[in-house]
Amino acid sequence: MGTRVVITGTGIPAPLDPRRAGPGVLLCAEGLALQFDAGRATTLRVASLGMACTDLTAVFLTHHHSDHLIGLDDIVMTRWFDDPGPGGTLPIICPEGPCVRFCQRMLDPWEDDLAVRQANELQPSRPTAAIGGFTPSPAPRVVWTSGPVSVQAVTVHHEPVVPSVAYRVSTPSGDVAISGDTRVCAEFARLAEGADIIVHEALSKDLLPDDPAWQPIIAYHADARQLGEMAGQLNTPVLVLTHLCPPPRTEEEEQLYADSVRRGGFKGELVVARDLDSVTLTASEPHVDRRQSRLASA
């Protein structure tokens, strides 16, 4: 069946567009379903694919910014509703530090709710997560494997948010590099070299107001033109832009993102993603599926 990459959320912390959930990427391959980050409404996007939270093999976190984590307890709780036994434990892979501490404490606010549910609904256990923390490194290293599928991680530059990591998933059908949040940087370029698909956050200076208040945001996100230059130098077949800052509201604004990437020198297939857009890797070539049109018209 190949490897399928679905963008579960393309938005930013501010819910400026209800069609854009919080950041997330779902990769399905070899019977596995790997969710990268868990932004706002991730459970709803998973459900819209005809999947349940119990179908997720593991969740991978890139860093501890709230917009990438705010849907995580929802996944864990929803998974528990569907499978309250020990099989419902959710594996979470993330860098040591703030992400691990967040995962350890994320269910604390639900203590009273869980006590009532367990007593009233006679649940045999409480929702749990198996937290797999790893030491992040500027050199790519394998942090998770299952059969022929492996995941590497590398630190990237989203300072002052430290650590922040990117991931590369290797499958029999091909490789996918997922940036998380970062400036365009050499560490990610090394991780993504030879990948069939790059999924990368992007910022458009053309759409941002001329306001000094935006400078801290610009400083730690990926300029679309620089991203096009990097992906062009890597000869990446498919580049998917997500976590779009600011979110484009029209096709004309989406084109501004595309134009910036092309000016940087990227000549491969480009997707300025909307929620539920997907790319499938097969033995022949990548196939882009613009499923988002159904969501936009709903």
Please say whether the beta carbons of 3 and 27 come within 8 A: yes
**Range of 33's domain?**
3-296
Length of the chain measured in residues: 298
Confidence of residue 295 (pLDDT cuts 50, 70, 90): very low
pLDDT the model gives residue 102: 98
User: Average of pLDDT values for 163-184?
Assistant: 97
- Give me the CATH number covering residue 117: 3.60.15.10
Q: What is the pLDDT of residues 11-61, one digit of tens each?
A: 999 998 999 999 999 999 999 999 999 999 999 999 999 999 999 999 999
Residue pair 225/264 in contact by the 8 Å Cβ criterion = yes
Read off the pLDDT of each residue in 4-11 and give the average, rounded to a whole number: 97
- Rounded CA-CA distance 203/148 in Å is 34
How many degrees, rounded to 5, is the angle at CA 275 between CA 183 and CA 222? Answer: 10
| Annotation says 82 is catalytic | no
- Using alpha carbons, select from 44, 54, 97, 101 the residue that is nearest to residue 79: 54
β-partners of residue 155 are 165
Task: Give me the residue label for tokens 């984590």.
Answer: 69
Q: At residue 37, what are phi and psi to the nearest 5 degrees?
A: 70, 160
Number of structural domains in the chain = 1
**Catalytic choice (67, 175, 275, 277):** 67
What distance in Å separates the CA atoms of residue 42 and residue 38, rounded to the nearest whole number?
6
Whether residue 160 is preceded by a cis peptide bond, meaning omega within 30 degrees of 0, is: yes
Q: How confident is the model at residue 286 (pLDDT cuts 50, 70, 90)?
A: confident
